[in-house]
Amino acid sequence: MTKTEIVEKVSKDTKVSKAELSRIFELLFREIERTVATGEPVHFKGFGTFENKVRSERYGQNFVTKEKVYIPEANYPKFTPSKKFKKTVAGEPLL
């Protein structure tokens, strides 16, 4: 499902215009990105957590030349789904 399809579905359910919902989604996503980039996690109860993780510096290997390659430390985003989200996806009954 795409963002456009989600906006259409929510628009029908809420009677809010597609343009307004699209703008709200953009603002929401932008704020999540900014917050996670600062190192602060974003929690949505019953959905999951977005957070900034650090991948340690390490050495890798060029598979063609077998040469060792230095890979610097890097930040990356991580999403951890809630238990409820996992159960819903797995088709388990919610208690």
State how far Cα 10 lies from the chain centre: 20
pLDDT of 86 over the 90 cut: yes
Task: State yes or no: pLDDT of 76 exceeds 90.
Answer: yes
pTM for the structure as a whole: 0.79
Write out the two tokens for 85. Answer: 């989200």
Is residue 95 pLDDT above 90, yes or no? no
* 46 shares a domain with 28: no
Total domains present in the chain: 2
CATH number, domain of 83, equals 4.10.520.10
**Are residue 84 and residue 60 in the same domain, yes or no?**
yes
- Domain co-membership, 27 together with 55: no
27 and 68 in a single domain? The answer is no
- Give me the chain's average pLDDT, please: 95
pLDDT (tens digit per residue) in 28-52? 999 999 999 999 999 999 999 999 9
Structural domain range at position 25: 1-38
Alpha-carbon gap, residue 76 to 74, rounded angstroms: 7
Residues 46 and 89 in one domain: yes
Distance in angstroms (rounded) separating the CA atoms of residues 52 and 47 = 17
Distances (CA, A) of 3 to 25, 32, 80: 9, 16, 20
